[in-house]
Structure 1
Amino acid sequence: MRIALFEPEIAGNVGAVLRLCACFATAVDLIEPMGFTWDDRRVRRAAMDYIDHVTITRHASFEAFRAGIGTQRLVLFTTKTDRSAYDFTYRPDDILLFGKESAGVPAAVSDVCDARVRIPMQPQVRSMNLATTAALALGEALRQTGSLPG
């Protein structure tokens, strides 16, 4: 299983996702452009020393990312669907894709995803923090596939 972040904008969120993925032995794909420079100290501060325990692959574009994933299923987490992430059946080799904080992903990206799911939440709120959403999503996917460490 992998987590992919499409054009992330906030260094601290990326750092928190890197720390999460280090804890769960999950690789991370970063799809550029990003809204900050990669050597931003905020990434390392949020990831702490965990950054050395996660596999990170940077991709110059979504097309470059797609070219490198082969036949792995791409599961997009989005607010633009009614399908619950908790009613979805995950596979151990799924890639969980999350859009940029301000705008998600464009329709062209959404259209090529194999599935679109959402974390259910109160209707009067717009969205959750990227790192929080990734944690909920990864936890459920690993639980279902029996891939939780320890």
Structure 2
Amino acid sequence: MLTSLQNPLVKQIRKLHSTKERQKQGLFLLEGTHLLTEACAVNYPLEAVCCTPQWQADHPLLWQEACSRSDRLEIVSQEVLAAIATTVQPDGVVATAKRGNIQTQVPLTGLVLALETIQDPGNLGTIIRTAAAAGASGLWMSGDSVDLDNPKVLRASAGQWFRLATAVSEDLKATVKHCQQQGMQIVATLPSATSTYWEIDWRKPSLILLGNEGAGLSADLAAMADQHVKIPLSPGVESLNVAIAAALMLYEAQRQITYQ
């Protein structure tokens, strides 16, 4: 059992709390039983799995799954687990996985999201979870957005991170242009739009543009849209949370696709 906070593996995993170290090591963190379960369900390659004796005893089948997919397995003390986790009360297991398996492409069919400069990991994780639930094909995000493998993103996605095609675009305008050339309609939300989001035909392959939490969508990207739509708001309300805006349009699209 690992009990020392000075153990090399413990030190290595603790460093993964930072963006710079995740990029340097080519690894990211999976915290908790649910995320580990989802990773195993899609055969995502694991690097190391650390758990407490109690967790191992409570989850024998998942432990066996982890054993078959991990390069290293360690039983650790509760103190060590608390040190390597980013959560306040970890539930008994923390794993590391390889960053190299993050996707680099997203399908050009169905419903796809393109996110510009999203900064809040909770928002990104919630959008991923909602997009998966609404049957979206995938999600693009700009290179200056929050890290796709930020621990809070994974937790907020409730495991759907592993199931939705997601990719980072270092030139989001070029990506949007490519989607447009492939026949996707580009939809942007703007307060000045005359059409509401339920008035357009979502049965066409569509790319939904969503912008930064504070600044919104950049003018250059908004100008590329084929359709500008608004989400009606009561007087005095300036805007909606970006994850809520995404959910409204995704589910209107799903309604049209399913029932019209």
Do the two structures share a fold, i.e. TM-score over 0.5?
yes
1:31 aligns with 2:147: no
Where structure 2 has 5 or more consecutive residues not aligned to the other structure, the ranges are 1-110
The corresponding residue for 1:5 is 115
Following the alignment from structure 1 to structure 2, what is the Cα–Cα distance between the partners of residues 138 and 66? 18
Counterpart selection for 2:225 from 113, 134, 140: 113
CA shift, 1:67, in A, is: 4.4
The corresponding residue for 2:131 is 21
The corresponding residue for 1:104 is 216
The corresponding residue for 1:146 is 258
The answer on whether the counterparts of 1:31 and 1:65 sit within 8 Å (CA) in structure 2 is: no
The corresponding residue for 1:52 is 162
Residue by residue, what CA displacement relative to the aligned partner does 1:86-132 show, whole Å, maximum 9, x if unpaired?
22222331111111111112222111110110111112111111111
Counterpart selection for 1:125 from 231, 237, 246: 237
Question: CA 1:38–1:53 in structure 2 vs 1: closer, same or farther (change >3 Å)?
Answer: closer
CA shift, 1:77, in A, is: 1.6
CA shift, 1:80, in A, is: 3.0
The ranges of structure 1 where at least 4 consecutive aligned residues each deviate by more than 4 angstroms after the TM superposition are: none
Select the structure with the greater relative contact order (CA < 8 A; seq sep ≥ 6).
Answer: 1
Following the alignment from structure 1 to structure 2, what is the Cα–Cα distance between the partners of residues 40 and 127? 26
Counterpart selection for 2:151 from 31, 36, 41: 41
Q: What fraction of aligned residue pairs are identical, expressed as a percent?
A: 25
Following the alignment from structure 1 to structure 2, what is the Cα–Cα distance between the partners of residues 38 and 125? 30
Where structure 1 has 5 or more consecutive residues not aligned to the other structure, the ranges are none
Residue by residue, what CA displacement relative to the aligned partner does 1:128-148 show, whole Å, maximum 9, x if unpaired?
11111111111001211228x
CA shift, 1:10, in A, is: 1.1
The answer on whether the counterparts of 1:77 and 1:97 sit within 8 Å (CA) in structure 2 is: yes
After TM superposition, list the pairs within 5 Å mapping 1:66-105 onto structure 2. 66-69=176-179, 70-105=182-217
Residue by residue, what CA displacement relative to the aligned partner does 1:34-85 show, whole Å, maximum 9, x if unpaired?
1x33331110110021211111121112233124312211000222323211
The corresponding residue for 2:172 is 62
TM (norm. structure 1) is: 0.88
**Structure (1 or 2) with the larger CA radius of gyration:** 2
Aligned CA RMSD, in angstroms, stands at 1.9
State the SS of the aligned residue for 2:159: helix
Residue by residue, what CA displacement relative to the aligned partner does 1:13-40 show, whole Å, maximum 9, x if unpaired?
0100100112123111112211x33331
Following the alignment from structure 1 to structure 2, what is the Cα–Cα distance between the partners of residues 7 and 65? 15
Following the alignment from structure 2 to structure 1, what is the Cα–Cα distance between the partners of residues 123 and 170? 19
| Number of aligned residues | 147
The answer on whether the counterparts of 1:2 and 1:28 sit within 8 Å (CA) in structure 2 is: yes
